[in-house]
Amino acid sequence: MNKYEIIKKIENFAPLETQEKWDCSGWLVDTPQTEIKKIMLCLTVTKDVVRQAKEQNCDMIISHHPLFKIDCHSELISESLKPLIDVYCAHTNLDKAQGGTTDTLIETLGFKVSDTQEFVRYVDVEISVEEFLKRLKVVSPHLRYVNNHDTKTLKKIAFCAGSGAEFIQDAYENGADAFVTGDLKFHTALESPIVLFDIGHFESEILVLPVFERIIGSKCIYAKEENPLKYLDI
């Protein structure tokens, strides 16, 4: 597989120019090699993921998140300072793409997108809060939720995979009864005019990895990843 042809497919699906100005989607490591035999998919590039890729003889890593931690670089560069593995990420451009991160979450829950506004998607429904919680628990067993006004039935739900708390007011102003995202904070929850469901950043985005595989059109290896946040079940 030619690595540039692979990335062309991804960028046709999620154009790089649609990423946010602060984002760093695209090539993170571009080695001299052109032909790729094995690709590892992951949500986040960590030291452990790079080690997994090396152990399984992967030539390339494709991730959703950019390289956040500088300590990964030492695993990606040889002693002669030559890059070892190609690394490419599609972050906010994949979040915005039709069929991307948030759309995958919505479809996993059994809904169809009816309205789109960049990061935020809106779905028209007729479902009780209790029934919706049951669906969400399949994706995120440890979800948290806020229902300040004791809402019983939802008719319009807004979704934003990852960290989307900044869009709560936008969801409310567009007529949503509820908003599904991750990484909610206390005061945000306390003041929310609509029902909020915090399903976790990891849980809301890990579902998108098979989308990469479908775009590429070739079987990939999935990194073994876990939510860094642990829950105590007593």
Q: Are residues 23 and 78 in the same domain?
A: yes
Query: What pLDDT, on the 0 to 100 scale, is given for residue 83?
Result: 67
Question: What is the pTM assigned to this prediction?
Answer: 0.92
Full domain range(s) for residue 152: 101-205
> Are the C-beta atoms of residues 37 and 60 closer than 8 Å to each other?
no
Query: What pLDDT, on the 0 to 100 scale, is given for residue 196?
Result: 98
Element (H, E) at 145: strand 144-146
The total of structural domains in the chain comes to 2
> Are the C-beta atoms of residues 65 and 19 closer than 8 Å to each other?
no
* Angle in degrees, 0-180, between the axes of helices 3-13 and 209-216, rounded to the nearest 10: 120
Residues of the chain with pLDDT under 50: 79, 81
Question: Alpha-carbon distance 9 to 115, whole Å?
Answer: 25
Q: Are residues 83 and 136 in the same domain?
A: no
Q: Are residues 90 and 107 in the same domain?
A: no
> Are the C-beta atoms of residues 145 and 181 closer than 8 Å to each other?
no
Element (H, E) at 215: helix 209-216
Query: What pLDDT, on the 0 to 100 scale, is given for residue 114?
Result: 78
CATH classification at residue 90: 3.40.1390.30
The domain boundary, picked from 71, 94, 117, lies at 94
Q: Are residues 75 and 143 in the same domain?
A: no
Query: What pLDDT, on the 0 to 100 scale, is given for residue 100?
Result: 97
Residue 218 lies inside a defined structural domain of this protein = no
Residue 141 lies inside a defined structural domain of this protein = yes
The domain boundary, picked from 74, 94, 114, lies at 94
67, amino acid identity: L
Question: Alpha-carbon distance 184 to 180, whole Å?
Answer: 10
Q: Are residues 80 and 112 in the same domain?
A: no
Number of other residues whose CB lies within 10 A of the CB of residue 208: 25
Q: Are residues 84 and 22 in the same domain?
A: yes
Q: Are residues 109 and 172 in the same domain?
A: yes
Q: Are residues 130 and 196 in the same domain?
A: yes
Query: What pLDDT, on the 0 to 100 scale, is given for residue 77?
Result: 60
Q: Are residues 199 and 113 in the same domain?
A: yes
